[in-house]
Amino acid sequence: MAIPTIVEINFACFHRGKVSLSHLPLGRRYVEAARLETLPCPTCMAKKRDKARKKMAYQKALTYAQEHHLPALTGDPKDVQVATVIRHQQLSNLQYIYEESGVLSPAQFDELYLGAARYITSAQWWILYRSMEPAEALECMNTAVYKVKKPNEPPF
């Protein structure tokens, strides 16, 4: 009886899939097939890793927000979680660009960028402006702050 190189596996997550075991010696194929049946399928494993990565990024963003005295964002809970991570990425990238290059001191960065970010509490704003360039970030943030401080006046 020949030992197959492609085996149908019933994964622990109750999904089924075909796995190639051709890279293994003949004597290890049945052992490897039995081991794979105790694990979730590759798709479920990827989802689990992605969920853990998102949770870790959110925790890191919350820590950053607390350290820099940034307010909690408002909006839909799912939007808030995504926007908190986006805000952290944007501000930490800006901080790295301007402080590491010596353009701004930490105090100047706090005054200009973090000061403006403390007024922007809308999760939707951070999601909408997630792709803003560092050169235009200050202008976008100041426009949003102006709208918060004087909502009935045009920003220009």
- Summarised one tens digit per residue, pLDDT across range 10-57 is 999 999 999 999 999 988 998 999 999 999 999 999 999 999 999 999
Check whether 107 has a pLDDT greater than 50.
yes
Q: Which of 86, 136, 135, 144 is nearest to 115 (CA)?
A: 144
Residue 45 in any domain: the answer is no
Residue 1 in any domain: the answer is no
Q: Which of 117, 44, 115, 50 is nearest to 87 (CA)?
A: 117
Check whether 155 has a pLDDT greater than 70.
no
| H/E run at residue 109 | helix 106-109
* Domain enclosing residue 105, as ranges: 50-149
Q: Which of 123, 128, 119 is nearest to 151 (CA)?
A: 119
Please give the pLDDT value at position 151.
52
- Cα separation, 129 vs 62, in Å, equals 19
Residue 154 in any domain: the answer is no
Shared domain check, 86 and 24: no
Please give the pLDDT value at position 1.
53
Shared domain check, 105 and 62: yes
Q: By the 8 A CB rule, do 135 and 109 touch?
A: no
Shared domain check, 10 and 83: no
User: Quick one: three-class SS letters along 46-66?
Assistant: HHHHHHHHHHHHHHHHHHHHH
Residue 155 in any domain: the answer is no
Please give the pLDDT value at position 10.
95
Shared domain check, 106 and 60: yes
Shared domain check, 97 and 120: yes
pTM of the predicted protein model: 0.75
Shared domain check, 88 and 36: no
| Both structure tokens of 110 | 């706090």
Shared domain check, 75 and 30: no
Confidence tier at 147 by pLDDT (50, 70, 90) = confident
